[in-house]
Amino acid sequence: MSALPELTDRDSLAPSRDARTADRSHLLHRVLGFAVFQVAFYFAYRYGMAFSQASASPFWFPDSVLLCTLLLVPPRWWALYVLSVLPIRLFSDVAPEVPLWFLMGTFLIDSTRAVLTALALRHFMKNPLRLDTLRDFAVYCLFAVLLIPAVGALGGATARHTLGHDFWTTWEQWFLGDALAHLVVTPAILYWIVGAFRARTWRPVISRDQAIEVTLLSVGLVVTSYIAANTGGGSVDLLQTRFYAPVPFMFWAAIRFGMLGASGAVVVTAVMRLHAVLHGESSLAQLSPAETAFALQNFLLLRAGPLYLVAVLVEQRRNAERLLRESEERFRTIADTTPALIWFCDRNRVFFNQSWLQFTGRTLEQEVRSRGAESVHPDDQSRVRSAYSGSLAYEQVEMEFRLRRYDGEYRYMLNKSVPRYAPNGEFLGCIGSVVDITDRKRAEEVDRALAHAQRLAAMGELTALIAHEVRQPLSAILLNADTARALLQKEAPPLDQLREIIDDIRRDDLLAEETIRRLRAFLRDQEPLREPLDINAAVTDVLRLVSSDASRRHMRMRVELEPGLPPVVGDRTQLQQVLLNLVINAMDAQADTPQGARHITVRTKPNGNEDIEVIVQDRGCGISPETLPRLFLPFFTTSQSGIGLGLSIARSVVVAHGGKIWAENNVDGGATFHFTIPQHRSVG
């Protein structure tokens, strides 16, 4: 059985009611759009043809309408739109005297040009409906304003030439008419009509201040455009100041409102000028239609070009700012939702995320004002500052510092930061994340402190132990020295015996020295050595060290060392201390054992394949059942003079070597201690 719900035929075949409604509204949009296009084209065509047929129109408006439409609708609809204007061109009453072949010819030229321009713009521009970047503006100018109109004008000029007009004059008029349509009218349609249509609002969202500004700007523009177009008598001297009166307003519009402002301002001036020309009120009125068109074209070309350039730069900067703002916003949203404390800085700004602010209990303003410094422990501030000053800021930084929490407690924080670079390699600042490591640090401290306490305790214990052991060789030395002195009293001192005694003294002295050296090494917390060593030799050394003490305490020592054992790996001094401790404990445990029954057996043997086992057996008091589980715990002792660290240290040493230590009672009395040490395995 499938877990998915089964689809009925109705579900799968019949569109849902929502889908049908959407389809219907889509169709309605299409039909409406088509109707709007027809109406717009009709008026554009009539307006374009309003100029005498003796000359070309100063703007060929129909081009703008057609191009904008082709940019908006999918290419599969293009043929319909293009063909649909043919009746308008053939049957509108604007030019009854124009021959049919001419109308058909210009229809073909205009349509081809519109399709080619639309294809080029769709292909080369990032967004063919907007002139947002210098690159897109350049592509637009190249194809829509220069290249395609220039080539298309060749066809137009040929057609007109057939009607008796001068070829190159017509080419120039035709070209300027088409070029200016795309420079003046198309951007206005794209920004004012298509823009609003796509934003689905005809009501611009502007503030009160902006509304006042737009009103002032519009009034200024209309008044100055009127003065420029309608006054000045018959002069067409373009050097006259009044021609330039609208210019400041046009640039105002471009700088403050980008392409929307610029295209609007250009249209206002162009329409007013055109209106004046068409109604004979213009200073250009006494010129021939061709001269009028040319003067108009120059007038607009000179203004629109630079104005759009400024507007595009404004748009580009705005877009860059918007993108930066958006990316910063995105970053902030992410930063604010992570539990880590995050900060970033550039040359003039710093930012701290929500987690940081919650941690410090301060506001963003407070943190920004001091660049976070007020929350950092005063003793750490200079360290933090120097880590981020000069060339160091260009590197990754990993550092610890203390940060004051909202409750006033300074917490240890680990800060990791990386430098940020712009795509052009410019250093932008740093971004860092900070985590609270106080608990981890405290745990470590309790561990660095425990170890220290253990070592201190061990030091006391071991000092006593070793002092005790050093006493053995020292008393041996003294005894030997006394014997030598007594022998020297003899008339013929036995030189061989004396030589032996001196050798003994020397050996005992070296032993004492070695013991002290090892003690110092241990207390300096040197890393335990890991070297191959002969366990039997190490055991023999220890037994020799305790031999005099053992005989003084009437211990019978038995040594059973398995010959030919492989070397173990470890620290000789530490392992000898383990054994020394076990042997001394064994002697202590037999304090109450009758003198003749005091035995200590020390044995070595292989344990399985990997380890060597060392065994110390005594005939002492044994270990009571209550004692057994606590034997290796620190500070556990049953002895009056002991401190209970010997076995716990022995266990840490053995465990650190990868071995085990344990104890058991013998069946026939006394206890046995065992420990194992891994064999040395030669590499390769």
Q: How far is the CB of 528 from ligand ADP (least distance, A)?
A: 20
Instruction: Using the minimum distance from each CB to ligand ADP, give the nearer residue, 659 or 670.
Output: 670
Binding residues for ligand ADP, total number by CB under 6 A = 22
Look-up: residue for tokens 């500052």? 385
| C-beta separation of 173 from 55 below 8 A | yes
Q: Which residues fall within 8 angstroms of residue 109, CB to CB, at 6 or more apart?
A: 152, 155, 156, 159
Q: Which of 220, 232, 606, 642 contacts ligand ADP by CB under 6 A?
A: 642
- For residue 236, how far is the Cα from the chain centroid? 63
Binding mask 569-588 for ligand ADP (x = CB under 6 A): ------------x---xx--
Is position 627 an interface residue for ligand ADP (rule: CB under 6 A)?
A: yes
Q: Strand 410-421's sheet: what is its strand order?
A: 350-352, 341-346, 427-436, 410-421, 397-404
The region of 186-194, 348-356, 440-448, 640-648 touching ligand ADP under the rule CB under 6 A is 640-648
- Which of 133/672 has CB closer to ligand ADP? 672
Strand, helix or coil at 415? strand
Minimum CB separation from ligand ADP for residue 377, in Å?
43
The contact pattern for ligand ADP, residues 655-684, with x = CB under 6 A and - = no contact, is ----------------x-------------
Of the pair 437, 621, the CB lying nearest ligand ADP is at 621
User: Which structure tokens are listed for 198?
Assistant: 């796509």
Q: Could you say whether residue 429 binds ligand ADP (CB under 6 A)?
A: no
Closest CA to 92 of 49, 137, 153: 49
* Closest to ligand ADP by CB, 228 or 580: 580
Is-contact 450 648, C-beta < 8 A?
no
Alpha carbon distance 83, 98 (integer Å): 20
Q: Does 295 bind ligand ADP (CB under 6 A)?
A: no
Among 124, 192, 388, 636, binds ligand ADP (CB under 6 A): 636
Q: How far is CA 294 from CA 45, 184, 240, 281, 379, in A?
A: 19, 15, 18, 17, 78
Report residue 216 as tokens.
Answer: 């002032």
Residue type for position 493:
P
Residue with Cβ nearer ligand ADP (266 or 584): 584
Provide the minimum distance between the beta carbon of 526 and ligand ADP in the complex, in angstroms, as a whole number: 23
Give least dist CB 621 to ligand ADP, A. Answer: 6
Nearest-approach distance from CB 631 to ligand ADP, in angstroms: 5
In angstroms and rounded to an integer, the radius of gyration of the C-alpha atoms of the chain is 51
434 sits in which H/E element: strand 427-436
Comparing CB distances to ligand ADP, the nearer of 483 and 627 is 627
Closest distance of CB 627 from ligand ADP, Å = 6
- If binding is defined by CB under 6 A, does position 644 make contact with ligand ADP? yes
Which one of 53, 169, 540, 638 is in contact with ligand ADP (CB under 6 A)?
A: 638
| Least distance CB 398 / ligand ADP (angstroms) | 43
Question: x-or-dash pattern for ligand ADP, window 152-181, by CB under 6 A?
Answer: ------------------------------
Residue with tokens 């500070």: 635
Tell me, residue by residue from 583 to 622, as one string, x for binding to ligand ADP by CB under 6 A and - for no binding.
--xx--x----------------------------x-xx-
What lies within 8 Å, CB to CB, of 82 at 6+ separation is 66, 70, 111, 114, 115
Contact at 8 Å (CB) between 642 and 465? no
CB 173 within 8 A of CB 293: yes
Ranked by CB distance to ligand ADP, the top (closest) residue is 642
DSSP 203: S
637 binds ligand ADP (CB under 6 A): yes
Residue 152's nearest CA partner among 139, 137, 171 is 171
Closer CB to ligand ADP, residue 648 or residue 676? 648
Q: 509, 473 in Cβ contact below 8 A?
A: yes
Under 8 Å CB-to-CB from 349, ≥6 apart: which residues? 368
Question: Residues 243 to 262: which contact ligand ADP by CB under 6 A?
Answer: none
Residues making contact with ligand ADP (CB under 6 A): 581, 585-586, 589, 618, 620-621, 623, 627, 631, 636-639, 642-648, 671
